[in-house]
Structure formats: C-alpha cells, structure tokens
Amino acid sequence: MTLDLAKGSLGRAVVWRSGTSEARNGTITFTGGESAFVQFAGEHFSKAADPADLELLARKATGDG
C-alpha cells in the first residue's frame, strides 16, 4: 500500500508482511513521516511500519455471522 492509502485507511484492519514468512494482523492508528503506525493484535502500543509491507483486510459484510 502507499502512504496516501494508509492515511485514508485509519482504523482499518491490515496484515503486515515483510520479507519473511511472518504475517501479523493489526489496525492502522495513525501516519507520520513515511510510516504507518499499526497496533498489532495483543499489543498496547502502535509500531512504525513501512506502508509497502501492509495489505488491507476485507471488511466483514454487514449481517455476516
């Protein structure tokens, strides 16, 4: 994703992937400089991430179980 897309996606769920097989889910909380800040599941604070390493997760459709 681009930094502009991250700025327009505050509060959206993302998956973070870097050059490894590790993937982590989180929520974009804010942007600053060239980074998107993501609060990962189970953590109390946001961490800086390269927007290029983030992918938006599809929103759950209304009415889905």
Block residue for tokens 């681009």: 2
d(CA 65, CA 45): 30
Domains and CATH numbers, the chain: 3-56 (2.30.30)
Full-model pTM? 0.83
Q: What is the per-residue pLDDT across 15-44, written as a single tens digit (0 to 9) for each? A: 999 877 789 999 999 999 999 999 998 999
Higher per-residue confidence, 25 vs 60: 25
The SS3 call for residue 36 is strand
